[in-house]
Amino acid sequence: MQSEKVVIVVGGDQTDVAALVHRYSASHRLVGADRGALTLAGLLADFDAAIGDFDSVTPAEMEEIKKKSRICRVLPAQKDETDTEAAIAYAIETFNPEEIILLGAFGGRLDHLMSNLWLAFHPLLQGMAGKISLMDRHNSLRFYMPGSYVLEKEADKKYLSFIGMTPIKKLTLTGVAYPLHGKDYDYPIALVSNEFEENGMRFSFESGLLAVIQSTDKRK
């Protein structure tokens, strides 16, 4: 099966979603999870799939989602997986993705945000190190399993942070303002507000799960 790139719009803060959807609409498959599907229906003439229980949309909104989505899967309200997890499972099954970008994953309800962050531990995403990201206009977050990586600076981002989701062993950072050389952390730790020295940097670690965030300050 050919690998494709996928954007999944979920039901968090939709403030920055429109601009990012239009940025990726020509290059990525588009899937809406629950109210994220309503956002896509309001932005596009059609999109690939809508997945969710849709308990937060009106009947008129549901008709609009069905009209705009090529595939619409309505899930039971009482289920073991979240709508986001179901949308990711659909994307993996259907598109064999080389990249998954979640939009609308930040903001909104705090429990939804934590659920989205804990996707890093989900069995669905094993083997997708560095291929799944949570993004809005000011932040991009990717999860990494142990290994060595080269990271390019995003042109519109200033800060670079490394968040240990677990204890981390032998973390090395080079090409940044605050380098590290084989540092161990026995508990999850947030190493924030580092910066690229040039347009790229390298990092590596031997065990644990790492979230890497590029970000910039919000301006009014």
pLDDT along the chain (220 residues), means of 10: 88 85 93 95 95 92 96 87 90 92 85 83 77 89 93 94 96 97 96 95 96 85
- Does the domain formed by 143-215 have CATH 3.100.10.20? no
Q: Comparing 5-137 with 143-215, is the CATH topology the same?
A: yes
The pLDDT of residue 1: 67
The pLDDT of residue 21: 94
If one looks up domain 5-137 in CATH, what number appears? 3.40.50.10240
Task: List, edge to edge, every strand of the sheet that includes 5-9.
Answer: 69-74, 47-52, 29-33, 5-9, 99-103, 132-135, 139-144, 210-215, 159-164, 190-194
What are the domain boundaries of the chain?
5-137, 143-215
Model pTM? 0.88
What sign has the CA pseudo-torsion 74, 39, 118, 210?
positive
Phi, psi for 121 (deg, rounded to 5):
-95, -5
The pLDDT of residue 58: 94
